[in-house]
Structure 1
């Protein structure tokens, strides 16, 4: 395959999804009959994109298997064993997703091998490691987007606990105050996660009742109350006090590295990640929470959130700093009179148009495709060069040059 082609992408109807954002993007009936949580663009084995070629719908997964060098580029095909190394998504959350973290590569390899030795089926609900890969990701807001990311500094956690006044957590709070460092944070969080059920119920009841009194003072307290309505006996209710609460504005992004607790609470965004299904959950979910494995994976690195804006690149191609080898995220801001011409040496690229109307021209073959709101396409590495003209906002996923 050596030509630019449109994509027909699968959606995921998870219960936390919005009924309107993705249907509106795709020009479909809205609100939808069921939640539409994610739009997947890529070659995930369970739900690959379909490529529209000569009036046929062909699986991107199968096309890559047949022509890996043409689609991925020789270096990417060799480096990633003929696999597309990223998954590109539009994510739309009307309700909170689970609190979770992802392993690094060494942890993923060890965990995958261990669970294979234990003969745990890949599709078993209690399996943690589905593959040997890590799963760094970047989320970029398409509208105001609430999220939790990484631990707050110990001093800030203590201040918030004092503002709420949770007497039933006095012992743990005092321990963190005596050791306001990574080790102290690990001890504090471990004590919460392994708390006996009856005491956990008392702690959560007190925390929610106290937060209701001061919810107007801090968005973190308001989110504790909101989360308690959905997950009344889940320790994840306390996460807005323990983790950094962030509201990304449109165009802002943040990186999620291995070993960092995070949760997406509400909003819509572009998500780009290494191709892996390894997730260790920490709360706000009816699914398995493997506390011991989660504690092994977490780095307990505390600090403020670094919000990202795209760097101003050449030819309207604004690149977000990701520092990962599997993917790069760009915002293409095409204005009337602009012309974005691609470099001749590139890897595979997947694009989706969020706003506007543009045209992409294959400068080698002369083919022209329209890019309107909701349109997505793939540009194989074998395409010689392309040009984009019009007025549009486009997000692009690619593989950085090694």
Structure 2
């Protein structure tokens, strides 16, 4: 086990307080801090502070020790996941990710066409899918997946926007995935002049609905916020079709392939496959490839996937993908008898993960221990790398309540 130092990404939508407080830095931070990256991503691999190298180089030097012999073959000597702490003050782009088959095919097409892997118009810089989950640290707001069409018809009728009557009628006549595809495709391909007329009309309807305290006030407020931040963006129209989700701390939202989503605000721990394949729908100045987006999107309506973890005691594991498993290690109220913490520490819990692992502590401090008795303490804002060769590990709080998260590949969640 070794101390792992992540890197902070300073995107414009980030927070000036959450990550700074987590890392014990000056608050507010000089720039918005959006994500703390922990992993071996090629753009910014985390540093192993004890030996002056990064995790990507360390895995290249000893892939069998880091990943384990079987996982080395399965993951082609790559760490298959990327762990993040995310803090959003403003909405992220509306986006979706490809399936494994779509990613492989898209990457092959762009390679054959000679599109540079760093080009702005490149959709598939690698041949891998990018499922992801987010576990909320604070109240977290998001758009995720297509809402049931009949409910969206009611929303459109409640907003009572004359310019949208035709689209409302189209969806009412076909209240299913095909109807959603037709309306979404119409909106996302509108000429800019039409978008510039339709979005203000929609926002006027939202203002009236909020003033009347209508049934869809939350959705209307979100659309008003998006319209103010992204004037003239067809993504504001697309957002009309999506579920608005509010997560309480500890709740986990999973984004499978094809699910359109946008994180609106809040802080959470995000775990994803180590891929950069993103197809954007809007709410962004970045490249939007509408034909490829329509190829990837899943228009099946329904509620988004909120994960129910497995485990007992303080450790709850979420294993929705072969690429990753997340363990939430909650040594806080309801899971910890503070009186039981003495000089010997609290009773350790089995982390229940195998292979290459990363642990980050977001509150308090935890102690990791191998079967051989080696210990490593991880305080708030710090992280640890646990290579496969370290074997099973237990986790316990140090001197009081603590909350930590551990990442591993999805084979751990399947008993691998």
Task: Sort the TM-score into its range (normalised by shorter chain).
Answer: over 0.9
Quote the residue 1:13 is aligned against.
10
Contact 1:310/1:331 (CA < 8 Å) preserved in 2?
no
Which ranges of 4 or more aligned residues in structure 1 deviate by more than 6 Å?
A: none
CA–CA separation in structure 2 for the residues paired with 1:346 and 1:384: 7
Query: Counterparts in 2 of 1:134-213, with a 5 A limit?
Result: 134-213=129-208
Quote the residue 1:316 is aligned against.
314
- 2:407 aligns with one of 388, 393, 397: 397
| Deviation of the 1:283 alpha carbon | 0.7
Structure 1 pair 5–114 and aligned structure 2 pair: CA distance change class (3 A) = same
Quote the residue 2:228 is aligned against.
229
Q: 1:79-105 CA distances to partner (integer Å, 9 max, x unpaired)?
A: 011110000000100000000000111
- 2:366 aligns with one of 345, 348, 358: 358
CA–CA separation in structure 2 for the residues paired with 1:262 and 1:355: 28
CA–CA separation in structure 1 for the residues paired with 2:405 and 2:276: 23
Contact 2:327/2:351 (CA < 8 Å) preserved in 1?
no
> What SS does the aligned partner of 2:390 have?
coil
CA–CA separation in structure 2 for the residues paired with 1:384 and 1:184: 51
Gaps of at least 5 residues in structure 2 are none
Contact 1:354/1:373 (CA < 8 Å) preserved in 2?
yes
Q: More deviation in 240-249 or 381-390? A: 381-390
Contact 1:6/1:378 (CA < 8 Å) preserved in 2?
yes
Q: More deviation in 380-389 or 146-155? A: 380-389
Contact 1:166/1:203 (CA < 8 Å) preserved in 2?
no
Q: What do you get for the CA RMSD once the two structures are aligned?
A: 1.5
TM-score by length of 2: 0.91
Q: What is the number of equivalent residue pairs in this alignment?
A: 393
Q: More deviation in 233-242 or 62-71? A: 233-242
Q: 1:277-300 CA distances to partner (integer Å, 9 max, x unpaired)?
A: 000000110111111110111110
Query: Counterparts in 2 of 1:74-113, with a 5 A limit?
Result: 74-113=69-108
- 1:132 aligns with one of 127, 131, 134: 127
Quote the residue 2:382 is aligned against.
375
Structure 1 pair 234–380 and aligned structure 2 pair: CA distance change class (3 A) = same
Contact 1:175/1:184 (CA < 8 Å) preserved in 2?
yes
**1:30 pairs with 2:37:** no
Q: More deviation in 386-395 or 190-199? A: 386-395
Q: 1:130-169 CA distances to partner (integer Å, 9 max, x unpaired)?
A: 1100000001100011000000111111110111012112
Contact 2:187/2:238 (CA < 8 Å) preserved in 1?
no
